[in-house]
Amino acid sequence: MKFRHLLLLLCVIGTILPNILFVPWLMDHGLDIPLFFEELFSTRIGGLSGLDVLASGVTLFVFIRVEGMRLQMKRLWLPVVGTLGVGVSCGLPLFLYMRQCRLDAQDAPR
């Protein structure tokens, strides 16, 4: 298995795993954003996790911008949407997959 295929698999897993818990919550409560944040920050451990993910997301957005521009990558909005829609567990491996595809294309004989 090539590295980029592993990254794509991690993107799929990173999309499925968080939704195993989120979809049932969404079915019970609907898109109740205030309740979501109330429950997320209801304990110190939950707050720690929430802030960690927010900091990781911001770091990922900076990485996507800087590395994406450096490599002249296209469709940089995809991992941003993946991060905002699912989380860092989707956006990071998706960006790394896209980056690896770009690196592989640059290394390919012309």
109 confidence band (pLDDT: 50, 70, 90): confident
pLDDT at 110: 66
Determine the Cα–Cα distance for residues 91 and 28; give it in Å rounded to an integer: 26
What pTM was computed for the model? 0.91
Average pLDDT of span 32-47: 95
Question: How many helices (H) does the chain have, and how many strands (E)?
Answer: 5, 0
Length of the chain: 110
Determine the Cα–Cα distance for residues 73 and 66; give it in Å rounded to an integer: 10
1 confidence band (pLDDT: 50, 70, 90): confident
pLDDT at 108: 75
pLDDT tens figures, 46-80: 999 999 999 999 999 999 999 999 999 999 999 99
pLDDT tens figures, 71-105: 999 999 999 999 999 999 999 999 999 999 999 99
Average pLDDT, the chain: 96
Decide: 14 and 89 in contact? Cβ < 8 Å.
yes
